[in-house]
Structure 1
Amino acid sequence: MTTEYGVCTLALVPLRAEASDKSEILSFLLFGDCVEILETQAKWLQVRTLADDYTGWIDPKQQQAITASQLEALTKDQIVTGLAVYQTIERTDNQEKQYLLAGSRIPKPNQQHTFQIGESTYRFSQAPQIAAGTDFSRDINEYARFYLNAPYLWGGKSIFGIDCSGFTQMVFRMLNIDLPRDAWQQAEQGNVVNFLQEIEPGDLAFFDNDEGRIIHVGIMLDSQQIIHASGKVRIDILDDQGIYNAEMGRHTHKLRIIKRFNP
């Protein structure tokens, strides 16, 4: 049986738990994200994301079928879009506009600012803003703060709505580090930081519930400040107990472990 693939061709596409518009949104695909198609129904596709191995359902009209060779071309020389709320592109055959959110993966554009996905060619309306991805310790603060005040959204991965692990995943993606989708998966990677005094900018702090399950993650800006998605992307204080929210006057998340991922 031949494996079938698709690529997201819209700015943001919900990945649902079941084949229904009423179903829970597990995550989102951004423009350029590629998937393996697992099952085809009349109005739905079950897919597995190739970037982070997440399975869910999408509307088939929100993707474009691609061959294995087109998939290889798409993923061979990719870039990630940088710190712009959105960037405008258009299809050269019909001049239809599209919008790329920060953290979208696309083939590297040529000098005319065009790139190809499947049979379609796209052109940036102006010189594209590309993610830095070269100096983690220098750039982590700027890239994390880009999402400040983005509203919390379960499964979200954009400045218009984002959850805690989507926030860490997207910031790290733009700095050339791939993380899994969920907080508990991210906590299984990286190197342990044993003491708060050893924290460096970009370390990830993980938090658990009363059953010991990892339920939250945030990015350390320094040894005391953490930026994380809780209600909105916000900056709070971290101590040996966890996150202290000054507005609420109490600790809101219990610290479990701190990990380091930067190269």
Structure 2
Amino acid sequence: MENTYGICRVAVAPLRAEPTDRAEMVTQLLFGEHVEILEKQERWWLIQNGYDRYQGWIDPKQLVGISGSDFTTMHNCNMLAPLSFDNSLTSTDGSVYHICPGSNLPNIADGYCQLAKERFKLGFQPHQKNTANFKDEVAAAAKFFHNIPYLWGGRNLFGLDCSGFVQLVFKMFDIALNRDASQQAEQGDLVGFLAEGKAGDVAFFDNEEGKITHVGILLSPNEIIHASSKVRIDLIDDQGIFNKELGRYTHKLRIIKRFVE
């Protein structure tokens, strides 16, 4: 089968491990994210996210087709929905879409964005991805998601997993991270000691088998924000994350990575 391409036309679309509604949700697509279609079944398509190359099965009605050239152009989409709880788009039929921060806004012109032939009027000021303000703004960007509940595979305001949270914060600053914590740990530059950590450094944690299973963003060498039951702020030291509510360590520190010097 010849590969084709699409773009997410709903606010949030689940990607599943198998082509069935009962299957595990492995991640989510946000509005405007572009995909390569790898396989087509009657009710499910296997796709690969153009942003992080993560794969999963999707209901094809949640996509609209785009050309190969549009797919390539979308790699450079630098306008996003901002960190706000009130990001609304109005389609040409008058219906309203409420989209999540970090959603792509392709082909912006004259207050509209466009997905294939569908146009949407912006009800907000778009955010332009920019690494330049990372050091000054990353902590506030991460804290915007404070208390959002944990959801396995989640990447939106109603549920985030640990790596989805970190990926989404960094996307706002034009830093493309992989999807899973173990994959993210292969990116960035190693920070030798926690005491050298800065706001925006990313800490990774492993299990008893030595596999990296958790990730969070440092706010300082002593404090971390991460998604565990919810997006929360906890103490951290060389041993790991200490949860004051539980009175114990919950995650064992493995390594720290830096993405912006």
The answer to whether TM tops 0.5 is: yes
Q: Is the 8 A contact 1:33 1:51 kept in 2?
A: yes
Q: Is the 8 A contact 2:148 2:230 kept in 1?
A: yes
Matches within 5 A, 1:45-60: 45-60=45-60
The one-letter code sitting in structure 2 at the alignment partner of 1:204 is V
CA-to-aligned-CA distance 1:19-64 (integer Å, 9 cap, x gap): 0000000000000111111111111111111111111100011111
Q: Which residue of structure 2 aligns with residue 101 of structure 1?
A: 100
Q: Which residue of structure 1 aligns with residue 88 of structure 2?
A: 88
Matches within 5 A, 1:193-212: 193-212=191-210
Q: How far is 1:129 from its partner?
A: 4.9
Matches within 5 A, 1:27-46: 27-46=27-46
Taking structure 2 as the reference length, the TM-score comes to 0.95
Q: Is the 8 A contact 2:80 2:172 kept in 1?
A: yes
Residue 205 to residue 60, structure 1, CA distance change in 2 (3 Å): same
Once structures 1 and 2 are overlaid, which stretch shifts more, 32-41 or 72-81? 72-81
The one-letter code sitting in structure 2 at the alignment partner of 1:71 is F
State the alpha-carbon separation in 2 of the partners of residues 139 and 193 from structure 1: 20
CA-to-aligned-CA distance 1:143-168 (integer Å, 9 cap, x gap): 00010000000000112100000000
The one-letter code sitting in structure 1 at the alignment partner of 2:121 is R
The one-letter code sitting in structure 1 at the alignment partner of 2:15 is L
> Which runs of no fewer than 5 residues in structure 2 stay unpaired?
none
CA-to-aligned-CA distance 1:97-150 (integer Å, 9 cap, x gap): 21221011122522x311211111111134445555431110111100010000
- Cα RMSD of the aligned pairs, angstroms, is 1.5
The one-letter code sitting in structure 2 at the alignment partner of 1:188 is E
> Which runs of no fewer than 5 residues in structure 1 stay unpaired?
none
- Pairing partner for 2:217 from 192, 195, 219: 219
Q: Which residue of structure 2 aligns with residue 240 of structure 1?
A: 238
Residue 128 to residue 76, structure 1, CA distance change in 2 (3 Å): closer
Taking structure 1 as the reference length, the TM-score comes to 0.95
Between Structure 1 and Structure 2, how many residues are aligned? 261
Q: Is the 8 A contact 1:83 1:131 kept in 2?
A: no
Q: Is the 8 A contact 2:35 2:71 kept in 1?
A: no
The one-letter code sitting in structure 2 at the alignment partner of 1:32 is G
